[in-house]
A = this chain, B = another copy of it.
């Protein structure tokens, strides 16, 4: 599918934009293909964009005191990603955003987005809903998974985010779920 059409269809799930409105939004988006392992954002940089993953797989992570990578979020096709505090308050980012596959990513600058909000107020609705969904993903990771046994975290992910489970490398999925790769491999075997 044409990536422009994909974006239009995605927006249409939440808000109906006229052709003119959509064109006006589309004009302000930039697009770039990130190579596997390329960074969208590094720790210490100010996050200038909200990113929309048209196709690919991106992770958000930081490195803890012991040098271990801690994954905080994943995003695949049709997901938005940003470091919200860095973006809103223009502070250095505390996380890295990195492509795990070759990824086609649309992104929009804050000033352009503010301009669009004032020109097309319906866009506020789209981003109100998107931000609610980002908050839900974040709460699921931090509040819900920590309450669950390791086994149940994996089951929950299979149930709620099956596309993610298919695409994310196993050792990274294990890191995200805070279980060992060996145990994850066992859980996968037991399901089949």
Contacts and interface: CB of A to CB of B under 8 A. Distances in A.
A39 interface: no
B85 A147 contact: no
B84 A146 contact: no
Contacts of A135: 84, 131, 134-135, 138
Contact of A139 (B65, B85, B149): B85
Contact of A62 (B134, B138, B147): B147
| Interface SS, A side | helix
A46 to B, nearest CB: 14
A79 interface: no
Contacts of A143: 60, 62, 72, 94-95
Interface string A109-137: 00000000100011011011001111110
Contact of A121 (B62, B94, B125, B131): B125
Contacts of A60: 143
A158 interface: no
A94 B149 CA distance: 14
B141 A142 contact: yes
A140 interface: yes
Nearest to A138: B138
A64 interface: yes
